[in-house]
């Protein structure tokens, strides 16, 4: 919603999860109204219904991959647009009500995704403990605080809220694990390009067209547009029909990206624009130069040249 900063935020709850921690990195959300939702569909429906200005939901994890329910929700119902991404390092902690030796822990509450990302650590450090599945990282912390389990594998944000003591920090099998979240609003004009942007699309290809996916990739490649992610999800209509989710470098306002979108519109059964927004980098990276003849300037220059020819100006 360019021009109207959101003030009412909804996020995948409950409180005390990584999603809330990610949301609170956004200044407007830190000072706005934050409401947890019970599910991704519930969070997005609140935005569609006008009950919230924006929703933050998980999109993908560097270890576990994409979040299927979020992808499915992006291509059903009225359109929503990604206006921002948040990339958050995922560092679990093992916490308990009191300082307890690891050898004395017999039960650990954990969300299944958390225990999956920490499986080897748990086997190496608390091999005798039984891991009990709970509905969220926040529920794990609450369970330990109430004495239902000896300890919890949870997000750091849940420790102070539940009066827990950290027994081990930075618990993970992959030290550099991150989760990517998407902030979604109702459709509006995208923000101006920053020079380091991502454009997300959902495209449905014609299943009876030979080489349809190759044609999609070619529309991007010939214009120097890098594809940073591709993910497929079944449409649910019939076996063998899929929606492809694409993350591309660039912004819809750039001439070369506009050309690519027009090309995709011609050859695909459907194209849903999911937003152009700044890339969130945890650490600064040197920009990658466009191949010769494929920069935004090159496309603008060639478009101006063609316009002159069409007007009869051959100078």
Question: In the prediction, which pLDDT does 203 show?
Answer: 93
Query: Are 61 and 31 part of one and the same domain?
Result: yes
Q: Please give the sequence-ordered ranges of beta strands (E in DSSP) within the chain, or none if there are none.
A: 8-12, 33-37, 54-61, 65-66, 81-89, 92-96, 107-110, 130-133, 151-154, 165-171, 178-185, 197-204, 227-234, 242-249, 270-278
Question: In the prediction, which pLDDT does 110 show?
Answer: 93
Query: Are 167 and 99 part of one and the same domain?
Result: yes
Q: Please give the sequence-ordered ranges of beta strands (E in DSSP) within 90-196, or none if there are none.
A: 92-96, 107-110, 130-133, 151-154, 165-171, 178-185
* Domain termination residue (choose one: 171, 200, 217): 171
Query: Are 85 and 123 part of one and the same domain?
Result: no
> What residues are paired with 272 via a beta bridge?
202
Question: In the prediction, which pLDDT does 287 show?
Answer: 63
Residue 310 domain-assigned (yes or no): no
Residue 117 domain-assigned (yes or no): yes
> Which tokens hold the place of 117?
């990302």
Query: Are 212 and 269 part of one and the same domain?
Result: yes
Residue 293 domain-assigned (yes or no): no
Query: Are 108 and 44 part of one and the same domain?
Result: no
Query: Are 220 and 277 part of one and the same domain?
Result: yes
Full residue range of the structural domain in which residue 67 is found: 11-89+180-186
CA distance 49 to 17: 24
Query: Are 245 and 161 part of one and the same domain?
Result: no
Domain with 45 in it: what CATH number?
A: 3.40.190.10
Query: Are 73 and 97 part of one and the same domain?
Result: no
* Domain termination residue (choose one: 128, 154, 186): 186
CA distance 19 to 223: 36
Residue 1 domain-assigned (yes or no): no
Residue 124 domain-assigned (yes or no): yes
CA distance 119 to 60: 19
Q: Are strands 227-234 and 242-249 parallel, antiparallel or unpaired?
A: antiparallel
Domain with 246 in it: what CATH number?
A: 3.30.70.260
Question: In the prediction, which pLDDT does 286 show?
Answer: 66
Query: Are 117 and 69 part of one and the same domain?
Result: no
CA distance 234 to 311: 47
Query: Are 47 and 111 part of one and the same domain?
Result: no
Q: What share of the chain is helix, strand, coil (3-state, %, to 5)?
A: 30, 30, 40
* Domain termination residue (choose one: 120, 153, 186): 186
**Parts of the chain with a pLDDT under 50:** 1-2
CA distance 151 to 141: 8
Residue 81 domain-assigned (yes or no): yes
Question: In the prediction, which pLDDT does 275 show?
Answer: 95
Residue 297 domain-assigned (yes or no): no
CA distance 297 to 294: 8
Query: Are 44 and 26 part of one and the same domain?
Result: yes
Query: Are 276 and 201 part of one and the same domain?
Result: yes
Q: How far apart are the first and last CA of the chain?
A: 43
Question: In the prediction, which pLDDT does 3 show?
Answer: 57
Residue 224 domain-assigned (yes or no): yes
Domain count, the chain: 3
């Amino acid at each position: 919603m360019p021009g109207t900063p959101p003030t009412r935020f909804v996020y995948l709850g409950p409180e005390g999860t990584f999603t809330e921690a990610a949301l609170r990195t956004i200044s407007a959300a830190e000072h706005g109204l934050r409401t947890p939702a019970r599910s991704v569909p519930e969070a997005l429906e609140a935005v569609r219904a006008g009950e919230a200005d924006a929703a933050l939901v998980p999109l993908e994890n560097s270890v576990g991959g994409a979040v299927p329910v979020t992808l499915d929700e992006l291509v059903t119902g009225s359109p929503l647009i990604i206006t921002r991404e948040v990339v958050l390092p995922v560092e679990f902690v093992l916490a308990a009500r009191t300082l307890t030796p690891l050898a004395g822990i017999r039960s650990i509450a954990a969300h299944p995704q958390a225990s999956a990302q920490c499986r080897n650590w748990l086997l190496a450090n608390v091999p005798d403990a039984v891991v009990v599945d709970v509905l969220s990282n926040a529920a794990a912390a609450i369970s330990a605080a109430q004495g239902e389990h000896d300890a919890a594998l949870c997000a750091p944000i849940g420790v102070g809220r539940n009066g827990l003591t950290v027994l081990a920090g930075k618990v993970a099998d992959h030290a550099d694990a991150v989760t990517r979240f998407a902030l979604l609003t109702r459709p509006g004009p995208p923000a101006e390009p920053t020079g380091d942007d991502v454009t997300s699309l959902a495209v449905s290809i014609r299943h009876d067209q030979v080489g349809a996916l190759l044609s999609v990739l070619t529309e991007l490649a010939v214009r120097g547009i890098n594809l940073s992610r591709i993910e497929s999800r079944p449409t649910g209509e019939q076996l063998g029909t899929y929606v492809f989710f694409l993350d591309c470098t660039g912004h819809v306002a750039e001439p070369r990206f506009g050309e690519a979108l027009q090309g995709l519109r011609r050859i695909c059964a459907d194209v849903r624009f999911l937003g152009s927004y700044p890339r969130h980098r945890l650490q600064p990276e040197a920009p990658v130069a466009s191949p010769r003849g494929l920069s935004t300037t090159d496309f603008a220059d060639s478009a101006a040249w063609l316009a002159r020819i069409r007007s009869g100006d051959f100078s």
